[in-house]
């Protein structure tokens, strides 16, 4: 059980600040989640903290690659294909 | 007859201003009152501050460092790839520094630019959403560079929790960006906030944010910390509402309310940029600014500059202070501080002399007698700084806009252009489009004051109804504008209404 940060991350550090397990750090200019530390916040909070503050749609995904904040969900900008 | 110069002098020297008696209109009278209502110590602090006083901006400089990249809300005019749009223009990326690097940079800049007196934390993110990094920087600067004033700006969400700590540092003022008091309006500006470990959306999110902002404002005022309020003007969403915002925040004790235009260009990838949100026109912005902040007339020179810009008005020396270069510098800050003190004292004296000398005697009473009919005139000025008309038209990347009227000379704002008319000595006028852009930016101005202007742009300016004038080169800006206004009065150019009409055509 762990989440993952993908390339679209803008390195804002917000997720690392709020992670209850200190699972997130910057490695070679890229933010990564340590899969051995990430609990998906189970037991700490109702919502995964990183995905609740991350401003970038699609930047955080679960083990299956499913985006926790899909396109349009944070900015309200509806992608062309869906419009 | 003596004309008051309605610039920062009104702030620095209200008594003299009143005594001059040159101002008869109602609005002018109330502005004196508003200024006089400010406690004397605030008047003094404001008059020498480069961000508040247009005149001081010619002498002193501020710098920003970016140490706080995270944010706890989303604004619809911001793309989080870039810097916080509440403080700088969208589409700009500042390099994020660690607190250590930031302190090294501040010392390096302070040692080589003694005019630098104010440091702000800005750049991507909200400083108070990153309290550890922000306060570590502030703690160390208060200790290591005590001659630098600190300021911080915030969206306000975390403000109430930070007031205690803020009051312990050398904080000059706090800026809160407040765009609304009504959560329904807020919901159209803020899609979400991060609050109590959850992402909260819609009207509820806006309600919490507004509550925190107002609470933070009240707490700061109660502690005697200066509070400035910024608002982003979004036509059709909060433009009318900002009058109410202005009334309330001033009532609660904000010493200044500053309205900035929304910048919404599609290429910045913001919600407002992509959904075709309109930007306000210069005229709309100006009249709202007049209504909200007009009595103080500060901040009009605010360029929403690059957050990491370093230097005086309109110049950016950031290149000299890259991380690599500052790492190689060995700074003796105590020695630097002594030098800074000397130079700043000289500059302060110069500034105060200019502020005190702001009253200009006019040769005759023409303006007085024609007062009723004399219309206000907008003039553009090309200046490199020092409060003088001292820049070649071809080199200017920004123009200061002043309004001359029988009530005096008033700074109303600045307009910048991406490129100067002359890119370098051999390529003047290469792009006709450059000239066209400048003309369209200045189209409501009737005069252009600069140190020199070439033959070709001269005719183009004239054709566009903007009279270039190089005869006041190196004169103080306000004096030059008063003289030109007087010349226009003498030529009887100020009475006819048709002149105004022609300008807008
Ligand atoms: S889901 Fe929770 S534990 Fe896992 S990285 Fe995100 S914040 Fe940390
Ligand atoms: S919050 Fe999102 S954008 Fe910011 S560092 Fe974490 S993953 Fe990257
Ligand atoms: S507060 Fe600043 S950084 Fe945060 S979303 Fe708004 S404009 Fe962007």
- The alpha carbon of A15 and the centre of ligand 1 are apart by a number of angstroms equal to 8
Closest-CA residue in chain A for B266? Answer: A77
Chain B residues closer than 8 Å to A46 by CB: 197-198
Q: Is the dihedral of CA B126, B131, B133, B136 positive or negative?
A: positive
Tell me whether residue A82 is in a domain.
Answer: no
Phi, psi angles (nearest 5°) of residue B313? -30, 120
B230 interfaces chain A, CB cutoff of 8 Å: no
Q: Is the domain of B122 the same as that of B202?
A: yes
pLDDT of residue B346: 78
- The alpha carbon of B79 and the centre of ligand 3 are apart by a number of angstroms equal to 8
Provide the percentage of residues in chain B whose pLDDT is more than 70: 74
pLDDT digits (tens, 9 = 90+) for B128-160: 999 999 999 999 999 998 888 898 999 999 999
Tell me whether residue B340 is in a domain.
Answer: no
Tell me whether residue B350 is in a domain.
Answer: no
- What is the least distance, in Å, from the CA of B71 to any CA of chain A? 7
Report chain B's mean pLDDT, rounded to a whole number: 78
CB contact under 8 Å between A77 and B274, yes or no, is yes
| Residue where a domain stops, chosen among B280, B299, B327 | B327
Tell me whether residue B109 is in a domain.
Answer: yes
Q: Is the domain of B80 the same as that of B226?
A: yes
Tell me whether residue A68 is in a domain.
Answer: yes
List the CATH number of the domain containing B492.
Answer: 3.30.420.130
Q: Is the domain of B374 the same as that of B282?
A: no
Are B293 and B119 spatial neighbours (Cβ–Cβ below 8 Å)?
no
Per the structure, the count of domains in chain B is 2
pLDDT digits (tens, 9 = 90+) for B471-485: 998 888 888 998 899
pLDDT digits (tens, 9 = 90+) for B153-200: 999 999 999 999 999 887 878 999 999 999 999 999 999 999 999 999
pLDDT digits (tens, 9 = 90+) for B30-79: 333 344 455 666 666 666 666 555 566 666 777 888 899 999 999 999 98
3-state SS record for B280-299: CCHHHHHHHHHHHHCCCCCC
| Residue where a domain stops, chosen among B271, B306, B327 | B327
Q: Is the domain of B439 the same as that of B308?
A: no
* Helix B455-463 with B432-441: angle, nearest 10 deg: 40
pLDDT reading at B494 higher than 50: yes
Q: Average pLDDT, stretch B458-477?
A: 90
Write out the residue range of the structural domain in which residue A7 sits: 1-77
Q: What is the DSSP track for B130-165? A: SHHHHHHHHHHHHHH-TTSEEEEEE-STTHHHHHHH
pLDDT of residue B113: 81
Q: Is the domain of B128 the same as that of B64?
A: yes
Sites in chain A below the pLDDT cut of 50: 82-83
Q: Is the domain of B252 the same as that of B188?
A: yes
Tell me whether residue B193 is in a domain.
Answer: yes
pLDDT of residue B501: 42
Q: Is A8 in the pocket of ligand 2 (CB under 6 A)?
A: no
Number of A/B CB contacts below 8 angstroms equals 58
The pTM score is 0.71
pLDDT digits (tens, 9 = 90+) for B292-324: 765 554 444 444 444 445 555 555 676 777 777
Q: Is the domain of B323 the same as that of B369?
A: no
Write out the residue range of the structural domain in which residue B434 sits: 365-504
pLDDT of residue B131: 93
Q: Is the domain of B299 the same as that of B375?
A: no
**The ligand 3 atom nearest the CA atom of B80:** 8
Tell me whether residue B339 is in a domain.
Answer: no
Tell me whether residue B336 is in a domain.
Answer: no
| Residue where a domain stops, chosen among B270, B302, B327 | B327
Helix, strand, coil shares, percent, chain A, to 5: 15, 15, 70
pLDDT of residue B57: 61
- With a CB cutoff of 8 Å and minimum separation 6, the contacts of B208 are B157, B193, B195, B200
pLDDT band with cut points at 50, 70 and 90 for residue B408: confident
List the CATH number of the domain containing A22.
Answer: 3.30.70.20
């Amino acid at each position: 059980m762990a989440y993952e940060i993908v390339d679209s991350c803008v390195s804002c550090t917000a997720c690392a600040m709020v992670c209850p397990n200190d699972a997130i750090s910057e490695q070679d200019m890229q933010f990564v989640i340590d899969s051995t530390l990430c609990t998906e916040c189970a037991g700490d909070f109702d919502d995964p903290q990183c995905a609740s503050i991350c401003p970038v749609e699609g930047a955080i995904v679960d083990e299956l690659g499913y985006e926790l904040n899909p396109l349009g969900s944070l900015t309200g900008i509806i992608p062309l294909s869906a419009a | 007859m003596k004309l008051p110069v309605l610039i920062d002098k009104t702030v620095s020297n209200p008594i003299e201003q009143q005594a001059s008696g040159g101002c008869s209109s109602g609005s002018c009278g109330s502005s004196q009152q508003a200024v006089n209502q400010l406690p004397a110590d605030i008047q003094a602090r404001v008059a020498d501050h480069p961000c508040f006083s247009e005149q001081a901006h010619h002498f002193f400089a501020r710098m920003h460092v970016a140490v706080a990249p995270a944010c706890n809300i989303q604004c619809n005019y911001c793309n989080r790839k870039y810097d916080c749009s509440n403080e700088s223009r969208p589409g700009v990326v500042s390099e994020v520094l660690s607190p250590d690097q930031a302190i090294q940079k501040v010392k390096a800049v302070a040692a080589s630019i003694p005019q630098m007196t104010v440091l702000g934390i800005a750049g991507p993110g909200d400083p108070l959403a990153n309290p550890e990094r922000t306060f570590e920087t502030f703690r160390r600067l208060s200790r290591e560079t005590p001659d630098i004033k600190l300021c911080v700006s915030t969206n306000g969400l975390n403000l109430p929790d930070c007031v205690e700590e803020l009051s312990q540092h050398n904080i000059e003022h706090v800026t809160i960006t407040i765009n609304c008091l009504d959560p329904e309006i807020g919901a159209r500006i803020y899609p979400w906030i991060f609050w109590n470990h959850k992402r909260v959306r819609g009207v509820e999110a806006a309600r919490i944010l507004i509550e925190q902002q107002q609470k933070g404002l009240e707490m700061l005022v109660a502690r005697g910390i200066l509070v400035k309020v910024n608002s982003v003007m979004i036509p059709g969403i909060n433009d009318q509402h900002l009058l109410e915002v202005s009334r309330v925040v001033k009532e609660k004790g904000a010493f200044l309310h500053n309205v900035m235009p929304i910048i919404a260009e599609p290429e910045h990838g913001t919600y407002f940029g992509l959904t075709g949100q309109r930007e306000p026109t210069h005229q709309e912005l100006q009249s709202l600014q007049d209504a909200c902040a007009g009595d103080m007339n500060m901040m009009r020179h605010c360029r929403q500059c690059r957050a990491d810009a370093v230097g005086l008005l309109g110049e950016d020396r950031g290149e000299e202070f890259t991380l690599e270069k500052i790492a190689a510098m060995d700074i003796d800050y105590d020695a630097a501080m002594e030098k800074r003190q000397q130079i700043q004292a000289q500059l302060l004296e110069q500034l105060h002399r200019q502020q005190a000398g702001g009253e200009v005697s006019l040769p005759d009473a023409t303006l007085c007698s024609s007062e009723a009919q004399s219309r206000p005139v907008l003039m553009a000025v090309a200046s490199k700084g020092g409060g003088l008309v001292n820049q070649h038209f071809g080199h200017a990347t920004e123009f200061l806009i002043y309004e001359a009227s029988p009530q005096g000379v008033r700074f109303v704002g600045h307009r910048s252009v991406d490129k100067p008319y002359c890119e370098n000595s051999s390529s003047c006028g290469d792009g006709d489009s450059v000239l066209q852009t400048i003309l369209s930016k200045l189209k409501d101005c009737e005069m252009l004051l600069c140190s020199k202007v070439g033959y070709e742009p001269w005719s183009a300016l004239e054709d566009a109804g903007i009279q270039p004038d190089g005869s006041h080169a190196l004169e103080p800006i306000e004096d030059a504008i008063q003289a030109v206004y007087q010349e226009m009065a003498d030529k009887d150019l100020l009475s006819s209404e048709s002149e105004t009409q022609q300008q807008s055509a």
